[in-house]
Chain A
Amino acid sequence: MGVNESLQRGRAAVRGKPFLFLAGVAGLVLLADLLARLAGVEVPITAERSFGGSLSALRFGGLVWNGIVVGLIFGLAGIGLSMTYSILNFANFSHGDLVTTGAFTGWGAALLIAGWGGSSAGHLLSVRAGSGAGPNAIGASVVQSPLAILVGVIVAAVATVLVTVAADRIVYKPMRDRGGIPLLIASIGVALALRYSIQFVYGARNRGVTATEGVGVPFYGVSIDLHEITLVIVAVGLMLGTHFLLQRTKLGKAMRAMADNKDLALVTGIPTERVVTATWVLGGALAGVSGYLYVLERGTIEFNLGWFLLLFIFAAVILGGIGSIYGAIAGGLVIGLVHEVSLIWISSDFNAAAAFVIMILVLLYRPEGLFGGVTTA
């Protein structure tokens, strides 16, 4: 953090201002358009394009809800990525595959309990790798087997923690003092090894997992998906838990100190290695649970799932400012909302690209994140 760097950043901010201005104008236009659409006002501009239009509040509400659901997944997974990024100083490209690890191990356990006796244990534990009982026959849903879903959450967390800590011991620990780039490259190696180990064990097929019977519940004219409700409750609960862990416990204080200033933390007598392990444990557990919950929401599972999420998680973390868990959560929600609400204007071919564009713009014009670079927790 030299004078030069802050000078450069200042200059960059000045240079970036015209673009920020443009982005602000574009945002206002979109907002006005959205309001016009909701009000049902349409002002034709050209033959094909018009300002405003019609958009039912129901569809808009549905998109916002979807955005929040997906955003919570991004945010939950992002907490771990953000913490390892700030404490260990490298972008962990294997984080997405930790998400996948949690999804498969957790659902293996959940299916085993939900479908106990009805199908072979191998079929259930491998999350329906081959042909056999279908998802509705197994009946893994909050309605039919809440206990199985709960156990799945715990197994997802524990199994992912084991994988994460093993990866740290084997791969990252011997290279602790290397720069960010060698660690980044090593994490790409871990990502590949992990992803294809999962493919080897669980197979490459994309398949359904959750039972759908009785999950959609009518509620004042809208259908509410109990799985999404479960996701929101568990995710928010875990986020609150993380908040209290970081703010109220000694371990949390040590983690924040490490993220803030590693040397100072060392001098103060904080056992840095133990804090690093705790970071991996926390980050891994949250990543695993987020993968499990993601499958709960979308109903299908495949070995590429976490890798496809990785860029979104990065986007969330960058948007909120690396190192800040609240930033990661808020960034996740923003990216989730952009991903879903942008469907009003653009086709579903581009909504993922829109989220990435937001990430790139933030990296370029506000690399410290939307919330002003609070690097502590």
Chain B
Amino acid sequence: MSAATDAGGDPAADGGDPAEGEEPATVTDAVVGALQESDLRIVGATMLAMYLLFLVLTVASEGIGPRTVNALVSTWVRLTFLFAAYSTLALALNLHWGYTGLFNIGVAGFMAMGVYGMALLSTSPDAVSGMGLGLPLPIGVVGGMTLAAVVGLLAALPALRLRADYLAIVTLGLSEIIRLTLNSATLSSWTVSTFGFGTGGGSGLDLPDTPTDALFAAGGPLDMTFPLVQTSVVRRAAWVVVMAVFVLLVYWLLRRVGNSPFGRVLKAIREDELVAQSLGKDTRWFKIKVFMLGCALMGLGGILWQGSQGFVSPNSFRPIVTFYVFVAVIVGGSGSNTGSIVGSILFVGLLFEGPRTIGSILGNALELGGSPGTFPAAVAPLGSLDPMPLLAYAVGNISAFRFILLGVVLVLLMQHRPEGVLGHRTETAAAVDLHRSGSGGETDE
């Protein structure tokens, strides 16, 4: 947390990669260095810090009373939900960008493919909006991930030849094409008449219940009232546990991939594609495979996140979602799996949920009264030295501030700490892991 805020304005952190074994130059570096001993500890500490921050914020907004516990647990569950959602996506993006150097800014589109693929297979045929085949959920999830991977393949086959900035524009264009296509009313009715399933167009698509919901159904093992917290919160928490398991699985998978000979080639491509080619590696094929894997994981992330809310519409997949995931990866430092998770936690806590909560607390605490409807109405009283309307307006429009803050953080990070809060943690492309003996198989890909 302190690292994130320090990093922005710290000119000493500017510049190239600090050499290995160098004395920590700044307080930030020293703190980070001490924390770096254990990845698990960093993640745990960051999460704990966020929970404590929101404990304070919740108590500040709700006061202490009988409903505080429910509000607090509900906040924590929502936080953890977003931690897990962004972590999955950030890990997948890190596989593309951090490991292989593929600048994919079409994350939202691949998420959409995952969710819609899952829904078209698993939503029941008599859903209110949209129509699916009603197949079991695991088939839907695998199908959605496969669809995302196939779309990734179609994009990757030609696009991976391109320069990084062209790839960025192509993937952004692709994600917009996907969103516009899903939004289309024409396609919605056409698919129903032709294939027997429909996207629902702009009015969205009903999704199957999450598997954990069965636990709370009438007659299920958890069909009861809970002390202090509402059932809906516990229900949500149960799903969040499932998501956390998936994050661990993805993390484990990516570690395996990263440490395998396959992963070493990926890092070599990131460092210098020509060298990797000279060593006889068909880099194009590697890039296609890793692009598909990352896209499938983005599809999974989409399913876990947008796919778990009972309903989805194309509006959930605007390009801004991609930029959120990007900020999470950049905050944590691209190239590091742990960094992606830490970055997601910091992003959700400090940049995404934090400003909104603080805004509502300020709004309540200051008793600002009605916020003026427009900026001129808010500024005009400044002439008579009355800043309150402007303040009320600012608090009322805190969501705009959240985006401005996001933009400023992005710029400051790129200027002063492009390697992210955890410092330079990009894994080396060396064949032999210097910290561990006998890691990785020796079979060639």
Q: Which residues of A contact B (CB under 8 A)?
A: 4, 8, 12, 16, 90-91, 120-123, 125-126, 129-131, 171, 174-175, 178, 180-186, 188-197, 199-203, 311, 314-315, 318, 347, 349-350, 352-353, 356-357, 359-360, 363-365, 367
Contacts and interface: CB of A to CB of B under 8 A. Distances in A.
A267 B410 CA distance: 34
Nearest to B185: A349
Contacts of A194: 407
Of listed A8, A131, A186, A365, residue having the most chain B CB within 10 A = A186
Given A8-B161, A91-B165, A349-B183, A189 B173 contact: no
B414 A182 contact: yes
Main secondary structure of the interface of B (DSSP, over half): helix
A125 B185 CA distance: 38
Contact of B180 (A192, A203, A350): A350
A364 B410 contact: no
Interface string B141-183: 0000000000000000011011111101110111011001101
Contacts of A16: 158
Contacts of A192: 323, 403-404, 406-407, 410
The 5 tightest CB contacts between A and B, nearest first, are A122-B376, A189-B410, A193-B407, A192-B407, A349-B184
B406 to A, nearest CB: 5
B414 A185 contact: yes
B380 interface: yes
Nearest to B164: A181
A130 B411 contact: no
Nearest to A365: B158
Contacts of A129: 373-376
Given A120-B376, A192-B410, 19 more contacts: A8-B161, A16-B158, A91-B165, A91-B169, A122-B377, A126-B374, A129-B376, A185-B326, A186-B415, A189-B409, A195-B403, A196-B403, A200-B397, A311-B169, A314-B169, A350-B184, A353-B177, A360-B159, A360-B174
A171 B415 contact: yes
Contact of A356 (B168, B176, B406, B410): B176
A191 B319 CA distance: 13
Q: How large is the interface on B (under 10, 10 to 19, 20 to 34, 35 or more residues)?
A: 35 or more
A181 B397 contact: no
Interface string B184-208: 1111000000000000000000000
Given A90-B165, A125-B376, A363-B169, A349 B180 contact: yes
Contacts of B326: 185, 188
A364 B159 contact: yes
Contacts of B414: 175, 178, 182-183, 185-186, 189
Contacts of A181: 103, 164-165
Nearest to B184: A349
> Which of A4, A120, A188 is most buried by chain B, counting CB atoms within 10 A of its CB?
A188
Contacts, number: 158
A90 B379 CA distance: 37
Contact of A188 (B176, B180, B186, B323): B323
B27 interface: no
B408 interface: yes
B374 A122 contact: yes
B204 to A, nearest CB: 15
Contacts of B304: none
Residue picked from B186, B401, B414, most chain A C-beta under 10 Å: B414
Nearest to B159: A364
B376 A191 contact: no
A186 to B, nearest CB: 4
Contacts of B248: none
Contact of B168 (A130, A184, A360): A184
B249 interface: no
B330 interface: yes
* Most chain B C-beta atoms within 10 Å of own C-beta, residue among A122, A349, A359: A349
Interface in B65-101: none
B178 to A, nearest CB: 9
B404 A196 contact: yes
Contact of A130 (B161, B169, B374, B408): B374
Contact of A359 (B173, B400, B407): B173
Contacts of B403: 192-193, 195-196, 199
A196 B394 CA distance: 12
B166 A363 contact: yes
Given A195-B403, A363-B162, A352 B374 contact: no
A364 B407 contact: no
B274 interface: yes
Contacts of A171: 411, 415
A287 to B, nearest CB: 18
12 contacts: A91-B168, A129-B374, A188-B326, A190-B411, A191-B407, A193-B406, A197-B404, A200-B401, A347-B186, A349-B181, A360-B174, A367-B166
